[in-house]
Structure 1
Amino acid sequence: MGAAGEGGCIAVAYSGGRDSTALLHATAVAAREQAGLRVVALHVHHGLSPNADQWLAHAQSQCEAWAAQGLPVSLVWRRLRLERQQGDSVEALARDARYQALTEMAHEAGADTVLLAHHRRDQAETFLLQALRGAGMAGLSAMPAMADRHGIQWARPWLTHPRRAIEAYVAQHGLSHVEDDSNADPRFARNRVRLTVWPALEAAFEQAEVSLAQSASRAADARACLEIWLEQSLAGLLLPEQDEAMSAPALLVWPLPQQRELLRHWFITRTARHLPASAVARLTSELPALVGTGRSIQWRAGAFDVCLYRGVLTCRPAALAGRLAEGVPTVRLSIQGPGRHELPSWGGALLVSPVAQGGVALSRLAQVEVRGRTGGEDFQLGPKRPSRALRKQFQAQAVPEWERAGPLVYAEGELVFARGLGVDARALAAPGEAQVTLIWVPDLTI
């Protein structure tokens, strides 16, 4: 408990169930020995069960009773409004909303640490579920004992403790707790494992809980080593000047297993999503025959497209392609100085940055239009170079087909900026004139 420091605050995620009740009580008892240390119980009312109000009432009564006994504990709670869309997983939706609520409540309470009551059986079940879903090393690592997210340290102090030890603690102290009726619902995968698979597994393999939890720990060690290798190796494949695109020829130098891991890591760093197994298989089998041919191709990868053009791999939201194909209305902007101008209809933002030379005169950008190609546009790459059709400039600069749809920025009716090409040389500011450069920043969130 010393990490919170004297006069600090530590939070416990408290559902009212057996495990979180035991953890909250043990934390409050330990905190009583440290002057000024407060314990805040964080309760989330999901509204999914008809008993949710009763659970909240129990949590309030329990914390009040312990506070009356001299334990430094108080309760804060939040009611969720889950907006479920067709195809959404109730488990995933509730989990994400719960963590967001816990984060917000912890910040409001002044706690930088939240304790979670997961134990060794939970860890073993998580490993088994992830294996059944075909997870990779990250999934098989199951739950970390410590994690930092959103300015909060999430800790699972009982992750190596057996369930029976928690049951014994509850019995020893006569702690009352609630029973979640949804734990018996077979629609949820974890419940099916817990109610059907686990009893048979433990009957056949007495050490199943210990062994599976140990496998999760070893997977976590292996994952940590893999992450270091991936970060170092991926750095040599990226093309920073092309928005962290990846060189396909450089990727193919690696043996096939490394190619697969590098693709997965690159994709998740760009999109915060996992690259589907089917996309990994197609990419690694088709890339060797495509690289060097000059062909452009796209692979659908869940909600994103992975695109190959002239040996360069990029990714973008699949939904964006449809919007651009339908055409995007003209957007008018007033650029008064450096800053970021969000253009959601174009799937990104226009970043305006000051430069000493090679930019557009800021005075020209007071009224600009952002619009798409209509045909017949030309562009000049450099002051002493001829202007050529925009299509030919795109080809010369290896701008992929899917990036040629725009946006184009016009000032006073003249083209000053094109995505993939930069500032038109005819729009360059005079020496000594206040000027800025324009940079297109795609949005990879959907």
Structure 2
Amino acid sequence: MNSPFGLFMPGKRPGRWPGTDCSVETDLVAVAFSGGLDSTALLHATARLGMRVLALHVHHGLQQQADDWAAHCEREARALGAGFACTRLTGAPAPGDSVEAWAREGRHRALHQMARAAGADLLLLAHHRQDQAETFLLQAMRGAGLAGLAGMPRAQWRDGVCWARPWLDRPRALIRAYAEQQGLRWIEDPSNGDGRFARNRLRQAVWPAFPAAEAGLAQAARWVQQADALAAEVAAEDLARLASAERLDLTQLAALSPARASNALRAWLATHTAAPASLVERLLAQWRPGATQSWPAPGGALHAYRDGLYWSAQVPQGQAPMPVDLSRPGLYPQPGWGGAWLVEAAAPGIATARLARLVQRARGGAEQFQRAPASVPRGVKKACQEAGLPPWRRGGPLLFDGDLLVAMAGLGMDARAFASQDEPQLSLRWLDDSALPQREGAMHSAA
């Protein structure tokens, strides 16, 4: 049996790896190495290519043999001429939490950190066809949508590292045959027989009873991946017409078919929050044209206002007044307020001397705001209504120089604070977090 199943190209540099769609730049390949059958075979096959290979092992601390397993993995990696790195997870699952989920999240985080630290931009994982079929079935039983039913991607870039699964369409029997033919040694984890874990129950009950189901379920996951990609394309086309980063047009959304409206709404929400399917259904059913409505969501809230849908991040209550120095151009994020002050060289503006001595605080209730030099001061509530500022964005922050209101998020600069023509001056503008990724500029911290 040759280097396994024709999945890899020979040569010193990986380039584009067949079966992964990853074009990588370095000649260092990282392999997630648990020491089990699948990852042992993958590490062995990769090490035969003659390039630099790094085995990454995660010590979960959940089994008494974990120290011995880490030592075994290091010996095997060194014997194959591969480098070795190991991270031990700290902490433990909270009472009632899933041990599987805790271990998976910690493992993914550790693998990514080790790969980045080593300078590897390709990380290979030994998932195979049965793993994909199990993922599809488990997600289906949880009532997952397309993204969940699509299972594991063959390749996915995450923060500078391509996570690739070159054996995702291969049956495990072929991997075992390769390992046995090569005389490889691997770890048998006793927890694989523990029926408390959902995947183990599938392996014990479903696959023996339905041996042909593995291939069919894995094929179903591939079809779902195509459907998910198509849904994303349709959503992108719809959102190009219906939405900006800050606002989704609910009137136009309602004109779409129910399935297409749900698809577009889920795509827009995904840029702001991990919205459950029930929230999408509830919002589509409850919204009424012209109504001002709100729905709580993870990390914040959704607001319908003037037939647009807006996202607002959760802002901690009771923000204390704090001094800020905005006397230089740049972008000044304000943690906890959901945005940043943008300071630019423009007129009309505020004198730089005044910008150096500002105090930022929340709205108190009696403030007045003057929109232009020729206008008269109005109560902030009235000024917000005239500016079309949604109710949830009327709390601030506000900037003061002593008792003089200088600027308010959403309303802009108060005309009473404008500098005279001969004074050095800068303009102020508030940007919500949703608008920040669209801009580039110097980053400063409020002092």
Shorter-chain TM band: 0.7 to 0.9
Q: Counterparts of 1:87 and 1:439 in 2: how far apart (Å)?
A: 43
1:261 CA displacement: 1.0
Question: Would the aligned equivalents of 1:347 and 1:442 in 2 still touch at CA under 8 Å?
Answer: no
Where does the alignment leave 5 or more consecutive residues of structure 2 unmatched?
Answer: 1-8, 16-24, 436-447
> What's the counterpart of residue 256 of structure 1?
258
Q: How does 1:202-213 map to 2 (within 5 A)?
A: 202=211, 206=212, 208-213=213-218
> What's the counterpart of residue 53 of structure 1?
67
Length-normalised TM-score, structure 1: 0.87
1:361 CA displacement: 2.7
Is 2:85 the partner of 1:76? yes
Question: Would the aligned equivalents of 1:239 and 1:246 in 2 still touch at CA under 8 Å?
Answer: yes
Higher helix share: 1
Deviations 1:181-215 (A, max 9, x none): 3323333332232333333333xxx2x11111111
Q: CA distance change for structure 1 residues 315 and 188 in 2, over 3 Å: closer, same or farther?
A: farther
SS at match of 1:270: coil
Q: CA distance change for structure 1 residues 110 and 235 in 2, over 3 Å: closer, same or farther?
A: same
1:303 CA displacement: 4.1
CA RMSD, aligned part only? 2.2
1:360 CA displacement: 2.5
**Equivalent of residue 163 in structure 1, options 165, 168, 172:** 172
Is 2:301 the partner of 1:305? yes
Is 2:289 the partner of 1:291? yes
Amino acid of the residue matched to residue 280 of structure 2?
V
**Equivalent of residue 40 in structure 2, options 18, 21, 24:** 21
SS at match of 2:432: strand
Q: Counterparts of 2:404 and 2:196 in 1: how far apart (Å)?
A: 61
Where does the alignment leave 5 or more consecutive residues of structure 1 unmatched?
Answer: 68-72
Deviations 1:122-157 (A, max 9, x none): 111111111111111111111111111111111111
> What's the counterpart of residue 282 of structure 1?
282
SS at match of 1:420: coil
Is 2:163 the partner of 1:154? yes
SS at match of 1:4: coil
The size of the alignment, in residue pairs, is 415
Amino acid of the residue matched to residue 264 of structure 2?
L
Question: Would the aligned equivalents of 1:347 and 1:443 in 2 still touch at CA under 8 Å?
Answer: no
Deviations 1:57-93 (A, max 9, x none): 11012123333xxxxx121111121354455433233
Q: Counterparts of 2:61 and 2:427 in 1: how far apart (Å)?
A: 52
**Equivalent of residue 142 in structure 1, options 133, 151, 170:** 151
Q: Counterparts of 2:240 and 2:421 in 1: how far apart (Å)?
A: 37
> What's the counterpart of residue 227 of structure 1?
232
> What's the counterpart of residue 42 of structure 1?
56
> What's the counterpart of residue 338 of structure 1?
329
Deviations 1:342-386 (A, max 9, x none): 433x33342333132243233211111111122221112223222
Q: Counterparts of 2:79 and 2:29 in 1: how far apart (Å)?
A: 19
**Equivalent of residue 193 in structure 1, options 189, 192, 202:** 202
1:431 CA displacement: 4.2
> What's the counterpart of residue 70 of structure 1?
none
1:18 CA displacement: 0.5
1:260 CA displacement: 1.0
Length-normalised TM-score, structure 2: 0.87
Question: Would the aligned equivalents of 2:301 and 2:312 in 1 still touch at CA under 8 Å?
Answer: yes
Q: CA distance change for structure 1 residues 330 and 83 in 2, over 3 Å: closer, same or farther?
A: farther
Amino acid of the residue matched to residue 294 of structure 2?
Q
